[in-house]
Structure 1
């Protein structure tokens, strides 16, 4: 005999006690700033090199920063940090392109939907450099021209 078939649970909540929840869209700018703060050491990392420490305020001589000297010979660590730094910058650039070249804008200009919209956005995704230089008008013009090319390519296929 199975006792779970007729088992029903209900949760009764008093709507007066519930607090309102606001769901806000993510802000590219705020996310980027937060990411820069979270990974400040990585973003600001400079390849270690020999540095001579300046004179002390009391006039004592100069010296070599031992931490910096040790880090010069930590090649694996330096390579890993630089690779991570590149990945963080690439991710930030990708998010910026996603922010500028977004689904709602492309939908508004092309009226594509679903898989065709996804395919169009993947094929005609602009570069970071273009998105950085382009005005809103330039970006919309780019989408219109790319859409004309997209339609032409679809007509030429058998």
Structure 2
């Protein structure tokens, strides 16, 4: 304890002070979570679900509280009478805070937005010789397409980017149907077993695109039966090895 105190004193350059307390809203009855507690020396912490905090600071330091970017005045440590229960009420009414609704991601909306954001890449086609009408009504060579034919590095990059976007779109579509939530619901798997199952029995695109919901869930259940039998076999083999 002596060594710890000495080390702490050296770190701060002076004797440390442990301040504890709680933070409430303006009604002084509702504890506030995730309030930032900061000091001049750079030490900081946040309040827990019950509004409690504990912070160790130099005795000549000052602390203040901040919530939603609005800081309180600074309180000198030496002016705090009860450092074991320093309570603060912020000018915030918890009951008036706006409720935040978190909605699940919409795969179709995300996919459409992704197509719009990367339309240039998705619509890219390898340049070729084409014709165009000139202002006089004559037919001529499309000079822009002709130039693009010889921009080999640019064309390779655009083709590779489009292929990567298409692969990512396929992966997201498979993830959308073959979701962890659905697999957990049907198999009750968790942890490492769930990760192994998801990787080993990831369905091909053809099945995901064409299977009905009943057929798709049957596929997962059948795969789980295989997975479970394999686990039993591996367990028996492990027991035999240990006995030997």
How many residue pairs are counted as aligned between the two chains? 156
Aligned residue number for residue 202 of structure 2: 125
Structure 1 residue 9: Cα displacement: 4.4
Structure 1 stretches of 5 or more lacking a match?
none
- In the alignment, is residue 40 of structure 1 matched against residue 88 of structure 2? no
Q: Secondary structure at the match of 1:68?
A: helix
Please give the residue correspondences for 1:139-154 in structure 2 after superposition, counting only pairs within 5 Å: 139-154=216-231
- Measured against aligned partners, the alpha-carbon deviations of 1:94-116 in whole angstroms (never above 9, x if no partner) come to 00000000011111111111221
Which has the larger share of strand? 2
CA RMSD of aligned residues (A): 1.8
Alpha-carbon distance in structure 2 between the residues aligned to 1:55 and 1:66: 11
Q: Secondary structure at the match of 1:126?
A: coil
Moved over 4 A (4+): 6-9
Structure 1 residue 61: Cα displacement: 1.1
Q: Secondary structure at the match of 1:79?
A: helix
- Measured against aligned partners, the alpha-carbon deviations of 1:39-93 in whole angstroms (never above 9, x if no partner) come to 001101111000011365xx52111111111000011111100000000000000
Which of 97, 113, 120 is residue 174 of structure 2 equivalent to? 97
Query: TM-score, normalised on structure 2?
Result: 0.60
Alpha-carbon distance in structure 1 between the residues aligned to 2:64 and 2:228: 53
Aligned residue number for residue 112 of structure 1: 189
Which has the larger share of helix? 1
Please give the residue correspondences for 1:1-158 in structure 2 after superposition, counting only pairs within 5 Å: 1=14, 2=16, 5-6=56-57, 9-10=64-65, 11=67, 12=90, 13-54=92-133, 56=135, 60-157=137-234, 158=237
Query: TM-score, normalised on structure 1?
Result: 0.90
Structure 2 stretches of 5 or more lacking a match?
1-13, 18-42, 44-55, 68-89, 238-244
Alpha-carbon distance in structure 2 between the residues aligned to 1:135 and 1:52: 46
Which one has the largest radius of gyration? Answer: 2
Q: Which has the higher contact order (CA 8 A, sep 6+)?
A: 1
Alpha-carbon distance in structure 1 between the residues aligned to 2:148 and 2:104: 42
Pair 1:107–1:69, CA change in 2 (3 A): same
Pair 1:112–1:16, CA change in 2 (3 A): closer
